[in-house]
């Protein structure tokens, strides 16, 4: 793919724009890939660094959002792939058979507990499925997720359906009702 | 009404999680990029220096030994040190960001990462120079072993070492095979996904 180099000023302004618009989303994305606070800070720094570097080659063939999420997911995927002990235990969403206990199925007592449960679920998934569930939780539709991951809308729909079912089991009926 | 509670909606929980403030100015980012590059170079330089230290140590042993076979063994291990230094430079030395890296989709990126790991695992002996390292070790150890046949007590002392070596070989090959099979399976699954695009 032919890339167009943009000027340093444009690179900097793009980066500042992204920090303002996607800063909190990038923070959440890092949380989906790393539970440890110190390691997460390093990962987040790495994501920001690679994003800033990547804007030198941003050619506007895709939207800024798609670009940001692709770069961020790629950096985070590399981070997971480096940790062999974690990597070897990850599962596909299709093979995710861990059912919550009866106490877990009840409504979470606090936001922190619910978030902890959600993080635990995400941390067990392989990188590609993790990208899909994070994009889904960020409120993206199937075509946006497809642009980021490279999967077909049919595949995305199938996986999102599976994710919804799992979330329903983990959080009760009121959860994943939005497409 | 548990169903209407925001704590029961995963999207709501996810999007409203507490934020950890993170802000870096462009100047800080530039400085960080420079430091990142320097750190990566330092890591690579440490690997290269260690490999060259192995090379020098065994070259010194080569110069001091007079028996032909062990001498060749030390020479081979010394050359392995150079090879390892070169491989470290080739694979670990940081390069500039390839222009098309961020353009690839996450699926392609993930698959290419898996393929890179599979290829490294498949050619681990060649890539790390282990074949020549073990050949060199054999050249050093075998003459000593033949000599030990005359003294069974000495031979008995060597048994634990060889048992450990055999165990390592068995575990290494079994683990490598299992790992490669799992990687290939995942790569095939991802290729099937890509065909549907």
Residues A167-175 have a mean pLDDT of 67
Establish whether this prediction's ipTM goes over 0.85: no
Q: Which of B2, B19, B106 sits opposite A70 (nearest CB)?
A: B106
Instruction: Please tell me the predicted confidence (pLDDT) of residue B6.
Output: 54
The SS3 call for residue A150 is coil
- Least confident segment among A54-63, B44-53, B101-110, B134-143: B101-110
* Residues within 8 A of B (CB atoms), A 140-159 only: 147-152, 154-155
The SS3 call for residue A64 is helix
The domain ranges of chain A are 8-94+102-173
A31 interface with B at CB cutoff 8 Å = yes
Beta bridge partner(s), residue A125: A91
Whether pTM > 0.80 for this model: the answer is no
CA closest to B104 among chain A residues:
A70
Chain A hits for B22, Cβ within 8 Å: 23, 27, 41, 44-45, 48
Instruction: Please tell me the predicted confidence (pLDDT) of residue A107.
Output: 52
Chain B hits for A37, Cβ within 8 Å: 20
Percentage of chain A modeled with pLDDT above 70: 84
Cα angle at A109 between A108 and A113, to 5 degrees?
65
The answer to whether the beta carbons of residues A70 and B106 sit under 8 Å apart is yes
Give residue-wise pLDDT tens across range A88-139: 778 888 777 655 554 444 555 677 888 888 888 899 899 999 999 999 999 9
Tell me the C-alpha distance between A80 and A33, whole Å: 7
Which residue has better confidence, A147 or A101? A147
Mean pLDDT of chain B, nearest integer? 83
Task: Determine, for residues B4 and A175 on separate chains, whether the beta-carbon distance falls below 8 Å.
Answer: no
Instruction: Please tell me the predicted confidence (pLDDT) of residue A178.
Output: 38
Task: Determine, for residues B14 and A138 on separate chains, whether the beta-carbon distance falls below 8 Å.
Answer: yes
The answer to whether the beta carbons of residues A129 and A140 sit under 8 Å apart is no
B47: Cα within 13 Å, side-chain hemisphere: 19
């Amino acid at each position: 793919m032919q890339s167009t180099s943009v000027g340093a000023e444009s690179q900097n302004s793009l980066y500042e724009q992204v920090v303002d618009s996607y800063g909190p989303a990038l923070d959440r994305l890092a949380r989906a890939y790393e539970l440890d606070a110190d390691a997460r800070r390093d990962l987040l720094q790495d994501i920001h660094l690679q994003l800033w570097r990547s804007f030198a080659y941003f050619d506007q063939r895709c939207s800024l959002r798609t670009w940001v999420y692709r770069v961020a997911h790629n950096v985070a995927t590399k981070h997971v792939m480096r940790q062999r002990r974690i990597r070897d235990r990850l599962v596909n969403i299709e093979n995710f058979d861990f059912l919550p206990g009866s106490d877990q199925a009840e409504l979470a007592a606090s936001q922190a507990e619910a978030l902890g449960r959600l993080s635990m679920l995400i941390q067990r998934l392989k990188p590609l499925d993790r990208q899909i569930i994070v994009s889904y939780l960020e409120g993206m539709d199937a075509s946006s997720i497809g642009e980021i991951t490279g999967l077909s809308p049919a595949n995305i729909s199938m996986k999102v359906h599976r994710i919804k079912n799992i979330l329903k089991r983990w959080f009760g009926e009121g959860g994943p009702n939005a497409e | 009404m548990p169903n209407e509670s925001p704590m029961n909606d995963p999207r709501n929980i996810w999007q409203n999680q507490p934020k950890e403030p993170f802000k870096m100015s462009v100047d800080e980012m530039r400085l960080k990029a420079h430091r990142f590059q320097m750190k990566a170079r330092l890591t690579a330089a440490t690997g290269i220096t260690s490999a060259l230290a192995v090379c020098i140590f065994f070259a010194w042993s080569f110069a001091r030994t007079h028996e032909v076979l062990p001498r060749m063994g030390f020479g081979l291990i010394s050359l392995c040190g150079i090879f390892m230094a070169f491989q470290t430079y080739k694979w670990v030395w940081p390069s500039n960001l390839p222009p098309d890296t961020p353009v690839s989709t996450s699926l392609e990126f993930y698959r290419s990462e898996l393929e890179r790991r599979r290829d490294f695992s498949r050619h681990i002996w060649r890539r790390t120079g282990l074949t020549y390292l073990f050949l060199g070790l054999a050249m050093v150890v075998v003459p000593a072993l033949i000599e030990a046949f005359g003294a069974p007590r000495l031979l008995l002392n060597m048994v634990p070492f060889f048992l450990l070596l055999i165990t390592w070989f068995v575990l290494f090959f079994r683990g490598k095979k299992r790992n490669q099979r799992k990687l290939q399976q995942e790569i095939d699954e991802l290729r099937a996904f890509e065909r549907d695009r």
